[in-house]
């Protein structure tokens, strides 16, 4: 039994594409191998920002033997009264590549051609299988490069295709498969040669690439938790952000940065949104859930010069928070009610007017619903809330940080 390794090396792939690519690559690998009657014991997929890898275990030297059956003419058509085969039977046998004498007459009174096919060497079949997998992959967005008609998620720079220790020849555009891969973009130098498919994870690990995304995700999570605890807090780790960061790095190292205490006077969401949604940082909270002036981010590299890296991240976040502070202070100079007129410049939907029209319709609707549902809410307060609930769309804060719509309406209303 041998392992099959197929690594597609590319330029950096968008992180949000990768989970889907991993699922699709596994499904395609299993499907294409089964179509060629190639047995296997397991299929794994690995992914980093610039590689997607299929690793298949337990493949024998030869594909599985098979029996192919074809239903032919009825007995009274295939054989004459004397039992001799007719032209129909002889033509059917010839078309199916069997001897007339080997045709089988079954209980349903039809003849069948049965062929026993011996499995071919797997090594001979793999080039077609791998090329088929490669060209069958689909992505949310594709690219073309150079003067090639082929489209892929990002330009392909290298291919590794190994069946045990043997190279499986695959070629796409001007790239030919071999046994050489690439390690970490900065921490590893030059080509990395693989003697066999078995040593893939080990060798790339030595060249600062953690190819197993599950291991990498858990490493990132553990580093964040431990670093936050060391800083006297608890990191706010959302699954979506953790998954995105997982596919942004090949060799993760967590580091902690800080920002000025004055920004803690802003609403918590105003600080967390640019930190998390724009910079991919993990906020740090104290035991009571209060935001601390610290954040954790993941570096794609080792522990060297972390202070310099942290300083650079702090400068970027400081600029974001400075913008947020400015918008928060400026926005509060105008009452929400005074922004109703500006909602006329925001289209709700073509044919259905603008957001000012929508707000007026909403104000009328909630009054009717209040009565129908017997909610016993103050009618005037309810209508006023409905009328003002869209006004934060024209504030500077929501214009800059669209994720905060609704949230800022609450803050400014308070």
pLDDT confidence tier of residue 106, bands split at 50, 70 and 90: confident
**Cross-strand partners of 69:** 114
* Rounded Cα distance, 146 and 373, in Å: 64
Q: What is the mean pLDDT of the chain?
A: 94
- Select the more confidently predicted residue: 93 or 306: 306
pLDDT confidence tier of residue 324, bands split at 50, 70 and 90: very high
| Tokens coding 40 | 């296997």
As a whole number, mean pLDDT of residues 66-86 equals 85
Q: Give the pLDDT confidence score for residue 352 in this predicted structure.
A: 84
Residue 97 scores a pLDDT above 90: no
Residue 65 scores a pLDDT above 80: no
Residue 116 scores a pLDDT above 80: no
| Tokens coding 138 | 């689909």
* Separation in Å, CA 136 to CA 3, 24, 39, 151, 299: 22, 10, 21, 11, 33
Q: Give the pLDDT confidence score for residue 119 in this predicted structure.
A: 74
Instruction: Pick the closest to residue 4 from 57, 47, 83 (CA basis).
Output: 57
Q: What share of the chain is helix, strand, coil (3-state, %, to 5)?
A: 45, 25, 30
**% of the chain exceeding 90 in pLDDT:** 83
| Tokens coding 100 | 């007339």
Q: Give the pLDDT confidence score for residue 348 in this predicted structure.
A: 86
As a whole number, mean pLDDT of residues 98-123 equals 83
pLDDT in tens, 252-266: 999 999 999 999 999
Instruction: Pick the closest to residue 401 from 323, 312, 318, 313 (CA basis).
Output: 323
Instruction: Pick the closest to residue 258 from 288, 291, 236 (CA basis).
Output: 291
As a whole number, mean pLDDT of residues 248-254 equals 98
Phi, psi of 238 (to 5 degrees): -95, 140
As a whole number, mean pLDDT of residues 106-126 equals 85
As a whole number, mean pLDDT of residues 266-272 equals 95
Q: How many CB atoms lie within 10 A of CB 18?
A: 21
Question: Hey, CA dihedral for 254, 260, 264, 266, is it positive or negative?
Answer: negative
Tell me which H or E stretch contains 245. helix 239-246
Residue 165 scores a pLDDT above 90: yes
Residue 67 scores a pLDDT above 80: no
């Amino acid at each position: 039994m041998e392992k099959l390794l197929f690594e597609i090396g590319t330029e950096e792939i968008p992180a949000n594409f990768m989970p889907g690519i991993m699922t699709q690559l596994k499904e395609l690998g299993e499907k294409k191998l089964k179509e060629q009657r190639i047995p296997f014991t397991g299929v794994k997929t690995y992914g980093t920002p610039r590689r997607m890898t299929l690793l298949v275990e337990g493949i024998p030297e030869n594909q599985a033997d098979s029996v192919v059956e074809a239903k032919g003419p009825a007995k009274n058509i295939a054989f004459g009264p004397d039992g001799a085969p007719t032209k129909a039977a002889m033509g059917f046998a010839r078309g199916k590549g069997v001897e007339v004498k080997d045709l089988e007459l079954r209980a349903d009174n039809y003849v069948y051609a049965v062929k026993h096919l011996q499995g071919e060497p797997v090594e001979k079949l793999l080039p077609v299988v791998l090329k088929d997998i490669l060209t069958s992959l689909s992505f949310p967005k594709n690219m073309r490069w150079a003067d090639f008609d082929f489209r892929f998620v990002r330009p392909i720079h290298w291919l590794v295709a190994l069946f045990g220790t043997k190279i499986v020849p695959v070629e796409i555009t001007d790239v030919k498969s071999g046994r050489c891969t690439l390690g970490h973009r900065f921490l590893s130098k030059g080509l990395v040669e693989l003697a066999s498919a078995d040593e893939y994870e080990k060798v790339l690990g030595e060249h600062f690439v953690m190819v197993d995304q599950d291991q990498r995700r858990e490493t990132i999570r553990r580093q964040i938790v431990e670093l936050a605890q060391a800083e006297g807090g608890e990191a706010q780790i959302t699954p979506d952000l953790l998954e995105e960061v997982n596919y942004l790095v090949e060799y993760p190292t967590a580091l902690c940065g800080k920002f000025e205490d004055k920004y803690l006077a802003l609403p918590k969401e105003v600080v967390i949104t640019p930190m998390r949604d724009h910079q991919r940082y993990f906020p740090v909270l104290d035991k009571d859930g209060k935001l601390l002036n610290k954040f954790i981010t993941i570096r794609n590299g080792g522990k060297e010069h972390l202070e310099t890296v942290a300083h650079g991240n702090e400068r970027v976040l400081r600029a974001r928070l400075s913008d947020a502070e400015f918008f928060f202070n400026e926005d509060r100079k105008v009452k929400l009610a005074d922004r109703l007129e500006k909602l006329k410049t925001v289209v709700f939907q073509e044919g259905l007017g603008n957001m000012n029209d929508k707000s007026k319709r909403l104000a009328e609707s909630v009054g009717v619903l209040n009565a129908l549902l017997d909610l016993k809410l103050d009618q005037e307060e309810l209508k006023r809330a409905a009328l003002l609930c869209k006004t934060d769309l024209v504030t500077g804060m929501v214009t800059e940080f669209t994720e905060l719509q609704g949230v800022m309406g609450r803050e400014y209303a308070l």
